Amino acid sequence: MPSHLKERVRARQEKTGESHQQALRHVRAEETRASTSVQRAERTRTIADTAFSIATVRAEESQRPAASRLFEDPYAHLFVEAGAHALESTQRFLDLPYFSDGVRLRTRFIDDAVRNALAADIDQVVLLGAGFDMRGMRLREIAERRARVYEVDTKEQLARKKKILAAGKVRLSECTVHVACNFDVADFDVQLTTALESKGFRRTAPAMFVWEGVIGYIGNEAIDKTLHFMARAAGPGTRVVFTYGENTFAEAARAHTTRAGFKHLEELSCDDLWTRYLQGPPHPAAKLMRMGVAVV
């Protein structure tokens, strides 16, 4: 037995009066929980760092000729400049076939989905797993509609985002609020509902949820729970736009959204988006990526 374990077992015996086996069992259980917590934190940081690769693609888009530009993100370069520590992992993503084009296409499609929701008089936008998403400030339609944007992410990611923006002398617009959420707790949906309401979210009014680049990192149980939350968090007419892969779901995507409470689902492959937004034949990998828009 490692010496540090012996010391902890001895200390617990003296404190509780337990036998050696009882104390050892408790100490090992504590070590397992601590190890799991560290692994979860490391995984969360790794996932959070993927936001730098998304920011890189969005920053590069602003350098394209206006005629071929799918969107503009004047803030993305701030996150790229702050991501030197994640340069190696960022480059691995950028080197993947179709990665950059996939981010370009999904960004434009989601932008359009948000615009459509605003045009339908939806004035609540929830960015679930917001990362470095700056739609709340770069889409002029949000300001024109005076919509409220709720950026939901972990406390650490939101703090990092705020720090990077502050260093670039950028203040969040008045219509954008941060809502911290611990997605690892069992009742995150209950806690998130309360947190959103405390920031002015209206549960009786419809909302537009943006769930971009998240599903690939969570299991089917978490996917179903989050879809269930979104279908019930706001009023009739609520929508969600989300990204997923060809083999993401255990069943058809429609089965998951219907079970959660959505009445309609539109599915598009990125082949469709390529034809809509770009020229030339789609990249062979485009058919593997999909977009969904579900409506309550």
Give the CATH number, domain containing residue 108. Answer: 3.40.50.150
Could you tell me where the beta strands, DSSP code E, fall in the chain? 124-128, 148-153, 176-180, 208-211, 239-245, 264-269, 289-295
47 pLDDT more than 90: no
Alpha carbons within 13 angstroms on the beta-carbon side of residue 204 total 0
In a domain, 41, yes or no: no
Whole-model pTM? 0.83
Say if 27 falls within a structural domain.
no
Domain range for 143 is: 99-295
**pLDDT category, 246, cuts 50, 70, 90?**
confident
Residue 269 lies in a domain: yes
Q: What is the pLDDT at residue 86?
A: 83
Query: To which residue do tokens 């939350």 refer?
Result: 229
Number of domains present in the structure of the chain: 1
C-alpha distances in Å from residue 61, one per residue of 65, 86, 114, 143, 205: 9, 20, 19, 22, 34
Residue 40 or residue 127, greater confidence: 127
